[in-house]
Structure 1
């Protein structure tokens, strides 16, 4: 963990679904000051559904919980390696409004349902935010195999062990997060509907994705700061 803990939360029911793409696919979509981060020459586009549980200011006894769905890539920036989001859809109008105002992030309102059946999770999302392309997502995922912590330098670590994000407001911003290393399991996913690539102007990547399910994780977040 790190010292600046403005927000506290727990991330649950997390899934990481990643496709390798040529770096040029995302390079032209990044703001000035960021460059594509690669692993063995590949850039990655990732879709991450999860539940943001008990999110609250530090010391507050009351928190909010809601599902979230994002499309992301990985970048090198002035403050180091981080995540760049193309969208973050969430089923909480208040949370979306606050995040758009305070974090300069592309949060959008959506209707979402999360249903659990033992280890299996069904996550469905339908964007309702006005003025942006509609996006839908419907998938069921289930972990299998033994839990593991990604080895430093591995592809899994490159994809999940990221402790900052960049946002493109009127200028470039950076936010820091803190948490213990992820505990992952391999996972299967039945991806019935996914229009996030279309909604963000990407062609759908070829090939099968790399899929990981995540154990619940306590997370802290700092205020966003200008770079």
Structure 2
């Protein structure tokens, strides 16, 4: 019987799967709904970001997802309503709140594109504590106000309890719907999030109807949250400004990412 030859050296790299297409609807079915919510009056601001700066802020097992060789950081304002768990009715009062998040764009070895939240500001304390304790998401308790003045929408947020920083945006919104361009599709056709919790990175899938956007004009903005999230402070006008009236969203159960291979010395 021939002797088996032992191979030494680094293990062969995992073969990466094809990168997920930027589909208008989720490429996967959310069979078991963990929680549901409705997003309203979303405002997206985006700036180019240094891919090396982004890479060091992503959870293990993910890399920056690039569009035309560029990474992006997003600052997103919206109202969340009708938060519900599983098949239960929406939570009264606690299920509706304002949110402002700083997000990056990621993909994993399975080819799934995702969002990585560097911070999520929320004006309800119980959802903040629940999301941090159950999912390890970086929620912060903040004051958030949104107001409509005819066709103009204003968001303001400031952090509570000694936290520094805040953000503000105001824009003019028209009734005309506008199609998403290639960059907007790259930034909004995201069907899950990546996060690291208790020493393990997971992917949390979601599904929702097709995005609709309306023509809008940015009237002004102020921001301290991007820099507070560990990225370079935006110095120029955002390269992308979007407004969406909103949509319902369903989240599935977390999918753990396989641990990275290590080489024995």
Q: TM-score scaled to structure 2, two decimals?
A: 0.78
Aligned position for 2:108? 77
Aligned position for 1:67? 98
- From 158, 177, 182, give the equivalent of 1:147: 177
- Does residue 119 (structure 1) correspond to residue 151 (structure 2)? The answer is yes
- 179-188 or 48-57, which moves further after superposition? 179-188
Structure 1 residue ranges without an equivalent (≥5): none
Structure 2 residue ranges without an equivalent (≥5): 1-28, 258-265
User: Larger C-alpha radius of gyration, 1 or 2?
Assistant: 2
SS of the equivalent of 2:253 reads coil
Q: 1:201 to 1:91 in 2, by over 3 A?
A: same
- 17-26 or 31-40, which moves further after superposition? 17-26
SS of the equivalent of 2:32 reads coil
How many angstroms apart in 2 are the aligned matches of 1:89 and 1:12? 16
1:152-171 Cα distance to aligned partner (Å, 9 max, x none): xx111100110100012222
SS of the equivalent of 1:11 reads strand
CA contact (8 A) 1:21 1:45 kept: yes
After superposition, residues 83-94 of structure 1 pair within 5 angstroms as 83-94=115-126
How many angstroms apart in 1 are the aligned matches of 2:161 and 2:60? 27
Aligned position for 2:10? none
1:50-87 Cα distance to aligned partner (Å, 9 max, x none): 00111111332232100000001101113411001100
CA contact (8 A) 2:172 2:219 kept: no
After superposition, residues 1-227 of structure 1 pair within 5 angstroms as 2-63=30-91, 64-79=95-110, 80-128=112-160, 133-144=163-174, 146-150=176-180, 154-169=182-197, 170-209=199-238, 210-227=240-257
SS of the equivalent of 2:72 reads strand
Q: 1:134 to 1:78 in 2, by over 3 A?
A: farther
Q: Cα RMSD (Å) of the superposition?
A: 1.9
1:12-55 Cα distance to aligned partner (Å, 9 max, x none): 01011111123123112222211011111110000001001111
How many angstroms apart in 1 are the aligned matches of 2:53 and 2:66? 12
Q: 1:197 to 1:118 in 2, by over 3 A?
A: same
Displacement, 1:185?
Answer: 2.2
1:130-173 Cα distance to aligned partner (Å, 9 max, x none): 6xx5221122123237313436xx11110011010001222212
Q: TM-score scaled to structure 1, two decimals?
A: 0.90
